[in-house]
Structure 1
Amino acid sequence: MQTDAKRQPLLLIPGTLCDERLWAPQIEALGDRVEAFVPRLDASDDLDTLARDILDQAPWPRFSLAGLSMGGILALSILRQAPERVERLALFNTNPFAEALERQALRADDIAQAEALGMTRYAREVLAPLYPAEGDAEDPEHTKLVVAMAERGGLDAFRRQAIALRDRPDASAGLAAITQPTLVLCGDGDRLCLPSRHLYLAEHIPNAELVILEGVGHLSTLQAPAAVNQALVAWLDRPASPEI
């Protein structure tokens, strides 16, 4: 894949059961300045192996890297494995810690529930209600999109993603070694990945800028596209990390 010299390569990693449609507002708005690529997330139930597969999919030797939720966790794994390939890092709605023991125990229940309900009902009845900011009603268009992405991803991919998240390593110890210009962004109403996680990220990554969006939940790229786009433009304007 040949990148236009005037356009920056940008690897966008979606979250669990999401695809390129999670990033559609950013791809459309930034199309004049970035060459965007969104990888598949179905190759493995091991997080680091999945990250290596994403590196193999990436069509450029170096790129700016952004991930949301599971995508942010994968971005941190990519950075551990191949820091020389990453020019900038953006972490959206991301938890840098290993899965809590009590949450680990519930992953099998999540998979069993998805198997029992099917992906359409599981996405509509279980996942979509978790994504708006606390106290907000669901946006019907966002719910429809969450369901469509889950249907496309399918049950097998969900099983692998759930296991990868359950068994993921703790990434917090490596944050101080990150040298790339970093954007940390979340909504203040995110119930799945609390703002406190992002304060931790911003405090422990040396070159990080923190953006907290008021009234926004877990799917910030869809729920506040204009604000996210503005933050991404400012991030892309920061000088890239030098080649190692």
Structure 2
Amino acid sequence: MNLHRKTLVLLHGHGVDDSIWDSVDALLNEYYTVVRPNISLFTFCKTVEEYADELHRFLTTAVIEKCTLIGHSMGGYIALAFAEKYPEMLEGFGLFHSTAYADDESKKHQRNQTIDMLRNYGTEMFVKNTVGNLYGDRFKELYPEKLKEHVARFGKIPTEALITGINAMRDREDRTAVLATMPFPVLFIIGMQDKLIPFESCISLSDYPKQSYPFILAEAGHMGMVERPDASARMISWYMSKI
């Protein structure tokens, strides 16, 4: 056993939990110490900064001093806040279907509508209504049962925890400047069919860091770790070998 293995922290996004990393974890944990915090039940974090503080507490308690942090979607927003507050803990960083830009007014309005929907109809209806936007068209066509599994698994997340996350996402700051100051190359994994964070917006982020490694999942939507786990694991592993 290699006692000096790199630590890879995979932080999931909103509306799911750490189980979304199962397939990628299985492909990587032979080579790295894979850590998957579960933030899906939190109702006490009001901002992405507070989520970042909680992540810091979690890693410190686990006696993790250095890690590569890769955040998916909302996990990326938290990871950027973490990188701003605790840069000394990072030896690598990646955004997985995520962005450093803040919400515009239209997106903030949409978030408020989603909160209203959650309050009125609950988690299961929210997940049923949004699952179609998470996956690419080809994946939905080939694996309709995977979407049913998604609804069954994540339709039980507490409504208040989802609302807490939406509030934090809506009010987060632009953190492109954080990308610009990172002392190591930054990984970007981008879904060509991502309906939540457009491809053009994601690819433009790669101009900010001093060195970027942008990878594109051509047939993936917003859930590349589920849609293309093999390719996702290869991209992460390649990046880990470069830092």
User: Normalising to structure 1: TM-score of the pair?
Assistant: 0.90
1:34–1:148 Cα change, 3 Å: farther
Q: 1:64 aligns with which of 61, 65, 68?
A: 68
Q: Within the alignment, does 1:94 sit opposite 2:98 as a pair?
A: yes
Over 3 Å counting, the alpha-carbon distance change for 1:228 and 1:156 in structure 2 is: same
Structure-1 separation of matches of 2:144 and 2:200: 28
Change (3 A) 1:222 1:135: closer
Which residue of 159, 181, 184 maps to 2:185? 181
- Tell me, yes or no, if the aligned pair for 2:138 and 2:219 is still in contact at 8 Å: no
Deviations 1:104-140 (A, max 9, x none): 122222012123222122201x210111225763633
1:130 matched to 2:133? The reply is: yes
Which moved further from structure 2: 143-152 or 188-197?
143-152
**Whole-Å separation in 2 of the counterparts to 1:14 and 1:144:** 19
Residue aligned with 2:214, SS:
strand
Q: How many residues align?
A: 236
Which residue number corresponds to residue 158 of structure 1? 162
Structure 2 CA distance for aligned equivalents of residues 148 and 179 of structure 1: 41
Aligned to 2:216: 212
Matched, 1:231 2:235: yes
Change (3 A) 1:40 1:135: closer
Preserved CA contact (<8 Å) 2:177 2:208? no
Q: Following the alignment from structure 1 to structure 2, what is the Cα–Cα distance between the partners of residues 168 and 194?
A: 18
- TM-score where L is the length of structure 2: 0.90
Which segment drifts farther, 8-17 or 101-110? 101-110
Q: Give the Å deviation of 1:149.
A: 4.3
Shift in Å at residue 151 of structure 1? Answer: 3.2
Partner AA of 1:91 in structure 2:
L
Residue 6 of structure 1 and its aligned partner are, at CA, apart by 4.4
Hey, what does 1:73 align to over in structure 2? Answer: 77
Secondary structure of 1:204's match? coil
Further displaced range: 200-209 or 225-234: 200-209
Question: Matches of residues 38-49 of structure 1 in structure 2 within 5 Å?
Answer: 38-41=36-39, 42=42, 43-49=44-50
2:124 to 106, 120, 124: 120
Change in 2 beyond 3 A, CA 1:4/1:136: closer
| Deviation of 1:29 (Å) | 0.8
Aligned pair in 2 of structure 1 residues 238, 135: CA closer, same or farther (>3 Å)?
Answer: closer
CA distance in 1, matches of 2:9, 2:138: 32
Q: Are 1:45 and 1:160, in contact at CA under 8 Å, matched by a contact in 2?
A: yes
Do the aligned partners of 1:92 and 1:185 also contact (CA within 8 Å) in 2?
yes
**Unmatched runs of 5 consecutive residues or more in structure 2:** none
Select between 147-156 and 190-199 the one with higher mean Cα deviation. 147-156
Residue 196 (1) aligns with residue 197 (2): no
SS in 1 for 2:55: helix
Q: 1:83 aligned to 2:81?
A: no
Q: Which amino acid aligns with 2:135?
A: P
